[in-house]
Amino acid sequence: QQPVQSPQAVILREGEDAVINCSSSKALYSVHWYRQKHGEAPVFLMILLKGGEQKGHEKISASFNEKKQQSSLYLTASQLSYSGTYFCGTEGDNNDMRFGAGTRLTVKP
Amino acid sequence: KAGVTQTPRYLIKTRGQQVTLSCSPISGHRSVSWYQQTPGQGLQFLFEYFSETQRNKGNFPGRFSGRQFSNSRSEMNVSTLELGDSALYLCASSLSFPGGFYGYTFGSGTRLTVV
């Protein structure tokens, strides 16, 4: 039931782009994205709802393919502050929320 | 406004003992979820409570239990501790069940070490 994230880790230079993918084996009602910096709590970035409505972070975007049960997080023109571990959380039709194992993103100067 | 408060922040226990962790959600939030975080495993779902009722439970043994009080505060209990229970335990609250339109707000966690 836990969604699968890819890649597990990625290293970027400032200004480069990255895509993080999240895939589930079950039908999804919504997908959440969170970022966790080392030693801190995960912080909510955005939610994507079935039907296309989205609410979240102004500098990071995401897509949600309901038919494929997949979501992708897009980080463009990355900044040093983007470094951290990104988690996707998937909500199924039975109202359960499960998180992936995380993608560690490192942005270097 | 105050965030999600988890106490204690750090805990060291001996195998076989039991432990109780506490979580105070953001004022007005009625849903509280608990997660176990270990390196490489991400956030493993333990359970979620809404209005004092357990709505969902993850795949953890019966040694893990929880409850929610009328003021939405929640406690998690682990009995007969094992070395493998060493982890960061995160609590998250939200306005509605399960995550709501504004997602979850996580606490800083309780770092449990079992020796």
Cα distances from B113 to residues B19, B44, B89, in angstroms, run 11, 17, 11
- Give the distance from residue A15's alpha carbon to the nearest chain B alpha carbon, in angstroms: 27
Q: Are A15 and A48 in contact (CB under 8 A)?
A: no
Q: Are β-strands B10-13 and B110-114 bridged in parallel, bridged antiparallel, or unpaired?
A: parallel
Q: Which two three-digit tokens encode residue B101? A: 């339109």
Per-position pLDDT tens, chain B of length 115: 679 999 999 999 999 999 999 999 999 898 999 999 998 778 999 999 999 999 889 999 999 999 999 999 999 999 999 999 999 999 999 887 555 667 899 999 999 999 9
CB contact under 8 A, A89 and B99: yes
CB contact under 8 A, B43 and A43: no
Closest C-alpha to A55, from A63, A45, A47: A47
CB contact B104 to A (< 8 Å):
yes
Distance from C-alpha of B65 to C-alpha of B76, rounded to nearest angstrom:
6
pLDDT one-digit tens code per residue, A47-105: 888 776 565 566 788 989 888 899 999 998 999 999 999 999 998 877 778 999 999 99
Distance from C-alpha of A79 to C-alpha of A100, rounded to nearest angstrom:
24
**Hey, which residues 14-73 in chain A have their CB within 8 Å of chain B?**
30, 32, 34, 40-44, 46-47, 49, 55
